Amino acid sequence: MKHTLTTTIGALVASIALSPLAHSATWDMPTPYPDTNFHTKNITEFAEEVAKITDGELEIKLHTAGSLFKHPEISKAVRSGQVPAGEFFLSLLANENPAFGADSLPFLATDYDQATALWNAQKPVIEALLEEQGMQILFSVPWPPQGLYTTKPIATVDDLKGLKFRTYNATLERFADLAGAAPTQVEAPDIPQAFSTGRVEAMITSPSTGVDSTAWDFLTHYTDIQAWIPKNIVIVNTRAIRKLDDATRDAVMSAAASAEARGWAASQEETATNVQVLKDNGIIVVEPSEELQNGLREIGAAMLDEWRAEAGDAGAAMLDAYAQ
């Protein structure tokens, strides 16, 4: 009798340990940007779709605008398994490997076709790097092309000299340095305060972030330099996704594929719509002078050389794949 009971319990324990998730689960998911932002809205739809397909078996609970983890902590929180999934600005990981920063290189990919080609070249490399850290890509969505926001007209690179310049990653910091500006790292939700307190007086970011932060309250000019198309990425901890049963995991992957397609389309729509919102609110929107654009391109070319030197053969292979 005793033997039988032990065996039965043993078998039961083994079957529980081996069986995939059989009950409903909640995933806490940190994101860095505000609720008004199109990335956040897209992820909200992603979470709704997962809940719908799984009949509520998996609830993804968003913690937006850096409320659960500060932006620079999000990738680490997913890696360590503190949270199963999260969103962050992909090129923030460039300090780990230059491959992560390719989409933030000035003037390497400046329209959506180029951004797609770059993502196709970048994705396998990034997939492998994340896999080593126990993480997987769910989807990645680009920001609109990055433009220059200032409190005065900018006709040449010289006009940027000495400006207190808001940056969001090391690559942009380098760009600001080379332009002679004075870079300061500021997270997107803190932009209005940084301008209103005089900590910064210029920035490069998308029309989306300009609108999210009501840029017309504190600056006057938007120069449409369309310098690069950086991406956000949504990743998942590999152990966490393996714990799901097959049907739930399929639901997450299929909702992720829809979110990627929907996000790329939304990003392109945002570009024109939000430049118009900037104009409607009184910001002076201008095309860059040839002299300004040439000066910025020169800085971009120097940065690409630096990147190549740092990224070595793997970087060269990625650029070759991109050029195909």
Which structure tokens are listed for 76? 């680490």
User: 229-258: which residues touch ligand PCA (CB under 6 A)?
Assistant: 230
User: 142-161: which residues touch ligand PCA (CB under 6 A)?
Assistant: 143, 146
Tally of CB atoms within 10 A around 268: 16
Structural contact between residues 68 and 78, judged by C-beta atoms closer than 8 angstroms: no
206 binds ligand PCA (CB under 6 A): yes
Please report how close the Cβ of residue 209 comes to ligand PCA at its closest, in angstroms.
Answer: 4
286 contacts: CB under 8 Å, gap ≥ 6: 153, 221, 222, 223, 224
Please report how close the Cβ of residue 42 comes to ligand PCA at its closest, in angstroms.
Answer: 14
Pick the piece of the chain touching ligand PCA (CB under 6 A) from 73-81, 114-122, 205-213, 295-303.
205-213
Please report how close the Cβ of residue 296 comes to ligand PCA at its closest, in angstroms.
Answer: 17
88 binds ligand PCA (CB under 6 A): no
Which structure tokens are listed for 281? 């609110």
Which structure tokens are listed for 12? 């039961």
Contact pick of 64, 75, 150, 209 for ligand PCA (by CB under 6 A): 209
Number of residues that bind ligand PCA (CB under 6 A): 10
171 contacts: CB under 8 Å, gap ≥ 6: 91, 94, 101, 104, 105, 303
**For residues 54 and 209, which CB has a smaller minimum distance to ligand PCA in the complex?**
209
**For residues 249 and 262, which CB has a smaller minimum distance to ligand PCA in the complex?**
262
66 binds ligand PCA (CB under 6 A): no
> E-strand spans in the chain?
25-30, 58-63, 85-89, 135-142, 147-150, 164-167, 182-185, 202-205, 221-223, 231-237, 284-286
168 binds ligand PCA (CB under 6 A): yes
**For residues 156 and 268, which CB has a smaller minimum distance to ligand PCA in the complex?**
268
- Phi, psi values for residue 225, rounded to 5°: -80, -15
HSE-CB at 70 with a 13 A cutoff on CA atoms is 5
**For residues 188 and 219, which CB has a smaller minimum distance to ligand PCA in the complex?**
188
Structural contact between residues 106 and 172, judged by C-beta atoms closer than 8 angstroms: no
Pick the piece of the chain touching ligand PCA (CB under 6 A) from 51-59, 117-125, 200-208, 307-315.
200-208
Residues that bind ligand PCA (CB under 6 A): 89, 143, 146, 168, 188, 205-206, 208-209, 230
